Structure 1
Amino acid sequence: MPTTHEFIFEPLVIFNTLQNNKPEYRLATGYQLDKDLMGISFSLREGVTWSDGKPFSADDVIFSFSIALKYPELDSHGIRQWVKSIEKRSEHEVHFRLKKPNALVAYTLVLFPIVPKHQWQLVDNFAQFTNSDPVGSGPFTDIQALDENGYLQCANPAYWQADRLNIDCLRYPKVTTNDDFISRISKGEFDWTGSFIPDIERHYASYSPDFKYWLPPASNVNLMFNFKVADPDVRDLFSRVEFRRAISMTLQRQLLIDIAAFGQGEPPRYASGMSERFSSWADPIIAEKYRPYVSYNPMLAKDLFDRVNLIDSNGDGWRELPGGKPLALTIITPKGWSDFNTTAQLISEMLRQAGIRVASVQADFLEFNDRLARADYQLAITNYPQGPTPFKYFDMAFNSNYQAPHYPRYAMHYYQNPRVDKLLTQFPIATTNQQRHQIIRELNQIIANQQVTVPLYNTVEFYQYNTRRFEGWFTKENPVASPLIWPQAPERLLHVLSLRPKKQVSEPE
């Protein structure tokens, strides 16, 4: 269930992404990398018990990771690619031996749930185990109700920080559609949520002064060029950075945000597509140098189109390829992704104003992925996964090792740069923050200089909260940690520990 991680199974460490990945120690009290970066040890918190009163120890950690190593289908966070073996050094210390050096392996290891060995060692089939009576280490382990309308998950009296917990239960109701969600949140039913609400001021915030929201920046949505496109004339065109920059400067990004994302987004600051979340990693001089190329400048764009001999040679209003052949491009997006579909249609209209003929094409998601994997497209729109540092974006988006059919779509532009690949191999083994920041700055500069993709807009995280019944919320003015309720934000454990009921609040009529 979505409230299993963190709330039933507490993590070893939470890395606070809004506080420069500051470690917030939970079941662990510290960690230490080996000097050769081929291992890492965790010191475990003493005095912690499971919800059934049994003591938590190193045996539980070793047992949990052994499941992932033995059963690939349960390796939810890619543990097997890094961990070679696990050693118990004492009742409260474990050591992981790695298959290859990685200075940042802790970020991955702490995402894996630690389960109680004394309960799970009796399980015959882990893949089918429903854990209907969970034993956990987190603050909410008691499932008091579970039916077709939702479930009720209540406090663990044995929780090691029970004195900090002021919330008795989490009620997780079933929501059938987005319209259902909007109808119910507008009536004040939900306290803590995170979902897309079009025109959020009108359809939510205006209903009550207690209805609040915060939309922190997330990852970018980019336009991709297929550097391996079948047509050699189009392939030559895509290879010209002047053309890619011209496309970028033809786009009115605020209009994309206002229409396709209902105003919930930000124009990109970085021509590399790096998220605004990681502004502290950027060289401001480099950022400003390339920022004009992700800004609307139709006159300069037309000059660049002319420079690559993309001109209207027959006077019909459309630019032709240098040899005189008509240029007609397509943008592919996943069917049903309304924001992407609308974005593609708007881009088509904007490029037509510059004499570039573009049609938007929608495909089922599986077909969309397959076409990108086979390089069977011209232009495409994609978003990107997030991580605790900018590395995940640059690695997933520009590492040529990921340009194979069994990998996700993010690097399927097929641009390759040996220097980029080398920097991406250096980042995980860099031993200092200064070295890691320098690597990201160089990656940012290379990708921006080449305009490999065209950043369209920075997406946002969806977070709504109701101040009528509870206080202590993480807000834009009080950005303690990520405020999200969903499992991809481990900081939600810190959030729930900060919440407390308001006093003397009358019940709704």
Structure 2
Amino acid sequence: MTSSAARRSLVLIAACIVGAIIVAGSACTEVNPRRLDIGWSESPQAGLNPFLARNEGDYLFLGLIYEPLCMPMMDGSVEPWIAESWEFDADRNAWLFHLDERAHWSDGTPLTADDVVFTFETVYAGDFPMGSTTKAFVKSVEAIDAQTVRFAMNGGFAGALPLLGGTLIMPRHVWADVDDVAQHPNETPVGSGPFVLEEFQPRSFLHVVRDADYWRGPARIDEVVIRVFLNLEAEVVALMKGELDLMPDLSGSEALIPPLEEDANVEVLLDRWPHIFYLAPNHRVDPWGQKAFRQAVDLALDKQAILDVSLAGYAEMPLMGYVPPLVTRWANPSVEWRGAGMTETERLAAANGLLDDLGLTRDDAGLRRTADGEPLAFTVSSLTYPSYIRAAELAKESLAKVGIELTVQVSDPETLYGGIVFSGERPLDWQLLVHGSTLHPDPDHFAREFAPVPPNPWDNAVAFGWEHEGLQSLLRDSRTEMDDARRRQMIQDAQTLFAEELPVITLGHRLHPAAHRTDTFTGWNPAKVIYGGMVHPLGSIVNLLSLEPI
């Protein structure tokens, strides 16, 4: 945590920002007291097309309308949902899912095994994001009867249950006649979830209303509106003014947490979370592709300052093997940051020694240059989140001390992620990125991000231009290893190699902050659901179905 003086300073700054915005804001609009208003920081990149869902924003929005076979939980357990049970048939090397016969679509059509088969065949044929994690491991998907689906596997697949089970299911009778699934706007979605669409305005809001005939029993709230805020300070103010009921994720605005904690009508939840906050280099850009250069940068960074200042102390010091310490079953606690326990003088001396050995000499102004005379001057890209921007600024200050110049460039998530880094079409249009990921409790997530089969531009290794045959081979083998002890050793060894190789430079592990008002709804249930990209407890459908108005 920060020192008390630093924390008081952050509180004062945040209070001034919040106060100024409240004074400038308008009065709260009258709304249905049975309507839940949620704030979110970006528009879903998939729009209303669930086949394109790839990140947590997509699943937050679309998870109100569509549902998975089962609900993977952060503790590694899996809860029934559309599927009421499942088992693994070792003789056939196949998973069987048995569907709840009550399940039906919002237009009244029964939800059957044919819908499940259609969903997986479509995502595999179209190479859609939803299927990228499982396609290589599934031989076939077959409807045994109306309520039973069999997934025949290609060899072993250790992460099969949560990844197959966590896939959103689509109605065959709606999508089968769509000519181009990838381009379909899906303006009148038919789902199996507890809400149906009322209105959607990209980059503005999603409005859904309760389905009174929802097969699990109707929700106790009438409507849900998710409002998009590109300014996190404004989102916090909206919560304090009563214009929002819930912020399921305060990550990125940690400095604004103290004023919320002082609000009698707001409860802030702070959880340890398997999050990795890191700098991602573009390995295609010289000299970021050189391991020794990445190691020098790693040592030069003042990570304690980054955690204390940019994340307001709501974070843990990093393990460098990518798997965060909360995932105790799989994390390798020996891969601590090399700079831990070193003074700043010692860290900078070690970093300068590595840079000198690479032949990156300083000019008269102190800026390092390559042998060809090119300056070590780079752009570090950041999202609009305050904590990301501040982390980029602190990285700039740290690296200036070893002769590396950074310029901070801020972009909104849709432009930076969808348009550049993860587009697969502009690989050289960025150099360094402040980024974060939340790791699924099963380490298959780690493996598929850095050793994807098949490769896809939304996987980190592909997006960042990183390759390492030894480490990637180990990760790929871990995905098919069904012996738990051998698989655990593979993941441990992979973290050791990762900490040496540094495909990304871990800054720390953020806590997960969320906040809700206490004077509008009751029954808050922060169940730690982690299907697809949806990892925010208070934003999960499990929580929303628990709520009722006060």
TM over 0.5: yes
Shift of 1:13: 0.7
Shift of 1:145: 6.6
Q: Mean Cα displacement is larger for which, 327-336 or 364-373?
A: 364-373
Per the alignment, residue 403 of structure 2 pairs with 356
CA 1:377–1:50: 2 relative to 1, 3 Å: closer
User: Which residue of 461, 464, 477 corresponds with 1:426?
Assistant: 477
Per the alignment, residue 492 of structure 1 pairs with 540
Return 5+ residue gaps in structure 2 as ranges: 1-47, 49-57
Preserved contact between residue 63 and residue 541 of structure 2 (Cα < 8 Å):
yes
Preserved contact between residue 95 and residue 152 of structure 2 (Cα < 8 Å):
yes
Per the alignment, residue 95 of structure 1 pairs with 150
Preserved contact between residue 310 and residue 322 of structure 1 (Cα < 8 Å):
no
CA 1:227–1:111: 2 relative to 1, 3 Å: closer
Give per-residue Cα distances to partners, 1:231-269, cap 9 Å, x unaligned: 6xx97xx443xx6555434332232234434x2642433
Is 1:156 aligned with 2:203? no
Return 5+ residue gaps in structure 1 as ranges: 503-509
Preserved contact between residue 34 and residue 40 of structure 1 (Cα < 8 Å):
yes
Matches within 5 A, 1:37-56: 39-56=94-111
SS at match of 2:150: strand
Shift of 1:393: 3.2
User: Which residue of 301, 313, 321 corresponds with 1:251?
Assistant: 301
CA 1:216–1:115: 2 relative to 1, 3 Å: same
SS at match of 1:9: coil
Shift of 1:187: 1.0
Preserved contact between residue 332 and residue 381 of structure 1 (Cα < 8 Å):
no
CA distance in 2 between partners of 1:147 and 1:346 (Å): 36
CA 1:130–1:320: 2 relative to 1, 3 Å: closer
Per the alignment, residue 51 of structure 2 pairs with none
Is 1:345 aligned with 2:399? no
AA at the equivalent of 1:497: L
User: Which residue of 498, 512, 524 corresponds with 1:447?
Assistant: 498
Per the alignment, residue 78 of structure 2 pairs with 23
CA distance in 1 between partners of 2:445 and 2:361 (Å): 44
Preserved contact between residue 309 and residue 321 of structure 1 (Cα < 8 Å):
no
Matches within 5 A, 1:282-361: 282-284=331-333, 286-287=334-335, 290-294=336-340, 297-305=343-351, 308=354, 310=356, 318=366, 328-334=375-381, 337=384, 339-353=387-401, 355-360=402-407
Is 1:278 aligned with 2:324? no
CA distance in 2 between partners of 1:123 and 1:239 (Å): 47
User: Which residue of 197, 203, 207 corresponds with 2:263?
Assistant: 207
AA at the equivalent of 1:194: P
Q: Mean Cα displacement is larger for which, 87-96 or 491-500?
A: 491-500
Shift of 1:296: 5.2
Q: TM-score, normalised by structure 1?
A: 0.75
CA 1:84–1:154: 2 relative to 1, 3 Å: same
SS at match of 1:396: helix
CA 1:223–1:177: 2 relative to 1, 3 Å: closer
Give per-residue Cα distances to partners, 1:277-296, cap 9 Å, x unaligned: 42331243x24xx3443565
Preserved contact between residue 318 and residue 506 of structure 2 (Cα < 8 Å):
no
AA at the equivalent of 1:104: G
Is 1:467 aligned with 2:518? yes
Per the alignment, residue 242 of structure 2 pairs with 188
Preserved contact between residue 205 and residue 227 of structure 2 (Cα < 8 Å):
yes
Q: How well do the aligned residues superpose, as a CA RMSD in angstroms?
A: 4.4
User: Which residue of 214, 220, 230 corresponds with 2:276?
Assistant: 220
CA distance in 2 between partners of 1:65 and 1:75 (Å): 11
Preserved contact between residue 525 and residue 542 of structure 2 (Cα < 8 Å):
no
Preserved contact between residue 10 and residue 27 of structure 1 (Cα < 8 Å):
yes
Preserved contact between residue 271 and residue 513 of structure 2 (Cα < 8 Å):
yes
Q: Mean Cα displacement is larger for which, 206-215 or 376-385?
A: 376-385
CA distance in 2 between partners of 1:389 and 1:73 (Å): 23
User: Which residue of 3, 9, 28 corresponds with 2:66?
Assistant: 9
Is 1:169 aligned with 2:222? yes
CA distance in 2 between partners of 1:428 and 1:456 (Å): 27
Preserved contact between residue 361 and residue 369 of structure 2 (Cα < 8 Å):
no
Preserved contact between residue 400 and residue 414 of structure 1 (Cα < 8 Å):
no
CA 1:412–1:117: 2 relative to 1, 3 Å: closer
Higher relative contact order (CA 8 A, sep 6+): 2
CA distance in 1 between partners of 2:443 and 2:185 (Å): 36
SS at match of 1:97: strand
- Larger C-alpha radius of gyration, 1 or 2? 1
Per the alignment, residue 481 of structure 1 pairs with 528
CA distance in 2 between partners of 1:73 and 1:485 (Å): 16
Preserved contact between residue 51 and residue 137 of structure 1 (Cα < 8 Å):
yes
Shift of 1:180: 4.2
CA 1:230–1:251: 2 relative to 1, 3 Å: closer
Shift of 1:501: 3.8
Give per-residue Cα distances to partners, 1:162-205, cap 9 Å, x unaligned: 2xx66232320544542542332111232222354453234433
CA 1:411–1:296: 2 relative to 1, 3 Å: farther
Is 1:389 aligned with 2:442? yes
